[in-house]
Amino acid sequence: MTPLTCDLWWGDITATTPDQMRALHGMLNAEERQRHAGYRLQADKDRFALARGLARLAVGRAAGIAAKSVAFDLLCFACERGEPAHKLGPHGKPRPSGPAEGVEISFSHSGDRVLLAMTRGVAVGADVQQVRGIALGPDSLADDLLNEAEMAHYTRLDPEQRQDAFFTLWSRKEALVKATREGIKGVTEVTISPPGAPIEVHAWDSPHAPPPGHVQLADVPAGDDYRAAVAVLTPRPLEIAVGDTAELLRDLPNAPARTDRRGAGTRRAEGRAETRTAPAARRPSPAAAPRHRQGPSAAR
């Protein structure tokens, strides 16, 4: 079976120049600028602008259109099922629309890093987590995100192994629920093999899980301080291509492209990134998602 390519780009807010950041902000549309203004911390503002800007630049190239003309539909899984929305106004997972329809994206940010994933014709989810100290207990983050089977393995680990194991599992699980659009509330429904074992989905207790054999899940090398993963809903083998972010940023209007090359340099993932997954137990809902239109970005 022919491999399916998932393109990735890494961004770093500390390696993005002020000129580049201004140009990225200028690509935001009215709704995005409103969200951007709502963030209190400058780092949060920068992560948001960098993620949306990289997405428009990558999608524009893929679709052969100007980045500033890229528009997104926002797909809400809860609205699709007729459930009350947890957010007011436009919300949901961005999906390119118009001339870029058929390109799928997912982005994630944590700490200084931004990860963008792009596929064509199949759903994708990406997640990056900055490794940091966590507590273990009935009200801990681990207790919220790991299910009973995963928690049993986690608690048997030596204390010095738990931090890496937790963030590895978290990034894998969140990449999966981003691909299906179930979001964080579905993260305990899926059981992933523990770190150190081949990456497999052991169980997925959700009526919206993909059919057997239709999930590819891979860790993404992210350095010592981060853990990252990508999930693609396809039966085809997965090939990951990491793109040159500095080169992509050259498409920014009126901004010199000068960033560090961390995570850049086009290359193919090693064999371990071409992973296999165990079949999930149930089929996803075929219902079409409602769309919240997010119009083209405003030109600056």
Q: What is the pLDDT of residues 204-236, one digit of tens each?
A: 988 888 888 899 999 999 999 999 999 999 999
**pLDDT interval class at 143 (50, 70, 90):** confident
Cα–Cα distance measured from residue 217 to residue 213, given in angstroms and rounded to the nearest whole number: 11
Whole-number pLDDT of residue 253: 82
**pTM of the predicted protein model:** 0.80
Residue carrying structure tokens 């992509």: 248
Residue 257 forms part of a structural domain: yes
Q: Is 299 within the bounds of a domain?
A: no
For residue 84, give the 3-state DSSP assignment: coil
Predicted pLDDT at 270:
32
10 Å CB burial of residue 243 (0-12, 13-18, 19+) is: buried
pLDDT, one tens digit per residue, over 238-264 is 999 999 999 999 999 875 544 444 443
Judged against a pLDDT cut of 50, whether residue 79 lies above it is answered with yes
Residue 74: helix, strand or coil by DSSP?
strand
Rounded average pLDDT over 271-278: 33
Q: How open is the CA angle 34-184-101, to the nearest 5 degrees?
A: 60
65-68's contacts with Cβ under 8 Å and 24+ in sequence apart are 65/99, 65/100, 67/27, 67/251, 67/297, 68/27, 68/253, 68/296, 68/297, 68/298, 68/299
Percent of the chain clearing pLDDT 90 (strictly above): 56
What CATH number is given to the structural domain containing 277? 3.90.470.20
Widest CA span of the chain, in angstroms? 55
> Quick check: is 207 in a domain?
yes
Residue 146 maps to a domain: yes
Residue ranges making up the domain that contains 269? 4-294
Highest mean pLDDT among 55-69, 120-134, 139-153, 179-193: 55-69
pLDDT at res. 213: 87
**Residue 300, domain member (yes or no):** no
For all residues of the chain together, what is the average pLDDT?
81
**How many domains is the chain partitioned into structurally?**
1
